[in-house]
Structure 1
Amino acid sequence: MADSTLGIGLVLPDILGTYSDAGNAQVLQRRLQWRGTTATVLDIRHGDAVPSSLDLYLLGGGEDDAQALAVNHLRTHPGLQHAAARGAVVFGVCAGFQVLGTKFTTSDGVPHTGLGLLDAVTAPGSKRAVGEVVVDVADRLGTEPLTGFENHLGRTQVGNDSRALGPVRAGIGNGDGTEGALTGRVLATYLHGPVLARNPALADLLLAWALGATPSALPLPEIGTLRQERLRAAKRRPHR
């Protein structure tokens, strides 16, 4: 690993950067540095072409107008879609989740066509989901529950060509008792935090996919204080 360099694309942080999700790129870069591996983080801003040559792409959260602007930009500059087609890792959070799906409707009732990298359709719910979330993930994603903070109106239905990350133990998530979506190496969630700071095992899973390794081959000692604090907080918020 020490001789490799990973290319990480931070996609439209000037548009999809409301909830500090850009911190996910810093988490990935630092966890690689701790292992003696370098990573280059490329900020891909509105107006920039999206390169298809990177190893891992990150999309964050944003409001309705920003989300619509982002999906239009990414359809015009389809480097992300080309990269995903050849097996690059793509990780989306909140608005990024909806952009990666097949269709989303903003709060003004206007439907938008997503990138179609996930089989997921999102429409506005009746009440905003705000608070701590805990998700019990499927085996492929590890054994530890995911923890994060949600702040979204969307309710997402995951279709047959994708699958949810797991059932919600606390919080709202997709709105049907599940959270997030996964197809191949495209993974998305509603969790902020930044979510990769709060869930280092998930960060290492994305890195392992990008490096062609297994998570167990990327050992690091962990300090679980933040995770345990957030898990305790989430116990006070049952699933609704």
Structure 2
Amino acid sequence: MNPDHPKIVLLYQSLLGIYGDHGNAVVLLKRLQWRGFDAELVTVEPGQPVPTDGAVYLLGGGEDTAQITAVKELRADGGLFTALDSGAVLLAVCAGYQICGRTFTIGTRDEVIEGLGLIDAQTRRGPQRAVGEVLHHWTRPDGTTSLITGFENHGGWTTLGSDATPLATVELGWGNGDRRHEGAVQGRVVATYPHGPVLARNPDLADHLLSTALDRPLEPLDRPEIEALRRRRIDAVRAGRP
């Protein structure tokens, strides 16, 4: 990875892009450019080689068949694994989160599919679908806290193993399915269920991914309009408004 020319790599938009999660890539790109980085957004589709020199990689939401195809393609290509071993960061959202685990299920027969194994987690179909606005408490690596807001829509419930830790604790919503914990962190992989896209609603999380990938602190951005919109969204979620 070239820290002076960081690449944001959006993976398989045609498969895992039905909830607008491509917006996460745009957020990361803009937050780098606002700070003066010569950043680049690279979109990779199935059949195209995954570059190994990216800074942050992104997987989004999709349906059952798309999940299976994505796993097969990513495993056969191998580029994502190489990039993570080299210090890149991966943000995986919803279906992207599920396929990063050890196993997940699809269809009404709950067929068990082997995942990418990047997270010590297993996903099974829950007794009901988790749908609605969410609010979670994220503790940053430095011990400070921030709120994560978004919209969840998933039928899979995820259980973490001992090698993964939850990303956040739940104030409102289902989270991983237990209404207690949400998402997962393992190594340089961050996984979460909320759409929104989640990084547009949560700039602190976006900057955390970037600073981790670049291995350096980032200068704060003075964007009061973003903070004002975020505050209104949080207030609306707590008030029960759509």
Normalised-by-shorter TM-score class = over 0.9
Secondary structure, counterpart of 1:144 in structure 2: strand
Is 1:235 the counterpart of 2:200? The answer is no
SS at structure 2 position matched to 1:62:
coil
Distance 2:136 2:223 in 1: 20
Q: Partners of 2:236 and 2:47 in 1: how far apart? A: 40
Partner residue, 1:194: 197
Q: How far 1:203 sits from its partner (Å)?
A: 0.5
> Cα RMSD between the aligned structures?
1.4
Counterpart residue number, 1:222: 223
Q: What is the aligned partner in structure 2 of residue 212 from structure 1?
A: 215
Contact 1:8-1:57 at 8 Å conserved across structures: yes
Q: Of 151, 156, 165, which residue of structure 1 is paired with 2:153?
A: 151
* C-alpha distance in 2 between matches for 1:114 and 1:127: 22
Cα offset, 1:46, TM superposition: 1.4
The amino acid of 2:184's aligned partner reads A
Q: CA deviation at 1:236?
A: 4.4
Q: d(CA) in 1 for partners of 2:239 and 2:193?
A: 19
Partners of 2:152 and 2:170 lie apart in 1 by 12
SS in 2 for 1:221: coil
Q: Which residue of 1 aligns with 2:33?
A: 33
- Alignment-derived partner of residue 172 in structure 1: 174
**Superimposed CA distance per residue, residues 158-192 of structure 1 (whole angstroms, 9 cap, x where no aligned partner):** 11101001210000010121100001211010010
* C-alpha distance in 2 between matches for 1:13 and 1:97: 15
Report 1:16-165 matches (<5 A): 16-108=16-108, 109-140=110-141, 142-165=144-167
Give the Cα–Cα distance (whole angstroms) in 2 for the partners of residues 171 and 233 of structure 1: 14
Alignment check: 8 A CA contact 2:139 2:146 kept: no
Unpaired runs of at least 5, structure 2: none
One-letter amino acid of the structure 1 residue matched with residue 34 of structure 2: W
Q: CA deviation at 1:39?
A: 1.1
Q: Size of the alignment, in residue pairs?
A: 233
Distance 1:228 1:148 in 2: 13
Residues in 2 aligned to 1:188 and 1:233: alpha-carbon distance in whole angstroms: 25
- What code does the residue aligned with 1:155 have? W
Q: Residue 72 of structure 1: SS of its match in structure 2?
A: helix
Are the equivalent residues in 2 in contact too, given 1:104–1:113 (CA < 8 A)? yes
The gaps in structure 1 that reach 5 residues or longer are none
SS of 1:135's partner is strand
Q: State the partner residue of 1:183.
A: 186
Q: Distance in 1 between matches of 2:44 and 2:160?
A: 28
**1-side partners of 2:68 and 2:25: how far apart?**
23
Query: Percent identity between the aligned chains?
Result: 48
Q: Distance in 1 between matches of 2:236 and 2:152?
A: 13
Amino acid at match of 2:189: V
Partner secondary structure for residue 235 of structure 1: helix
SS class of match (2:57): strand
- Taking structure 1 as the reference length, what is the TM-score of the superposition? 0.93
Report the Cα distance in structure 2 between the residues aligned to 1:64 and 1:11, rounded to whole angstroms: 17
TM-score normalised per structure 2 = 0.92
Change (3 A) 1:29 1:116: same
2:150 and 2:139 map into 1 onto residues whose CA distance is 17
